[in-house]
Amino acid sequence: MSVFSVWGRTAETDDNPEGVEEKTGWTAVLHTLPRVKLERRKIPPGIHSFKAAAVEPTPILSLPNHRAEPPLAALGWTDDEYERFDEMQSDYRSIQMGHWLKNSDSFASHHLLGGYALFQQEFPEEVLEKGLAMFLQIGTDDNARMGWGDGGELTFYADAKALAKGRFERIWGTCQGG
């Protein structure tokens, strides 16, 4: 899987006016079958490119961390019940972070493939309105020299039903900083 995305202005000559946050075609996800040779393409002028990097996912359990997410919203919890859950999931995330990433900060930026996103700021209501599910979160990564805001993440969502069938349709993304 390869993800290509453009965030914000790419150059002074960018034809995208200030204040426009969404533009069709700014993110593309390509799934390449095994043993198919990839072809390097030239980067368009004015685009900042990060060095390509292969990643190997580590399976972990992720829990929803905002009460608006459908699995939690369906429970109809009181504020007290949600607060107890929030403390538990934060503690659980700290244990996983300490074990897998050697960093027990439950809100430390990291990468996720599938599962539930970590929100530095707020749950994006557009996810519910558009019927989307999180498929990739790219955290601030000093090793790759990628930074999103103040230790934040780029989070990409796709059509939930298509994603369940292995298709990447209606890609939508957010950038949140800490």
Query: What DSSP character marks residue 27?
Result: E
User: 68-73 contacts: CB < 8 A, separation 24 or more?
Assistant: 68/123, 68/125, 68/128, 69/116, 69/123, 70/128
For the entire predicted model, the pTM comes to 0.76
**109-9-49-151 Cα dihedral, nearest 10 degrees:** -10
pLDDT for 15-41, tens place per residue?
Answer: 544 444 445 556 777 777 888 888 887
pLDDT for 97-148, tens place per residue?
Answer: 888 877 766 666 678 888 898 887 888 989 999 999 998 988 887 777 777 7
- Number of domains making up the chain: 1
Cα 51 from Cα 108, distance rounded (Å): 22
Q: Coil, strand, or helix at residue 90?
A: helix
Range of the domain at 6: 2-176
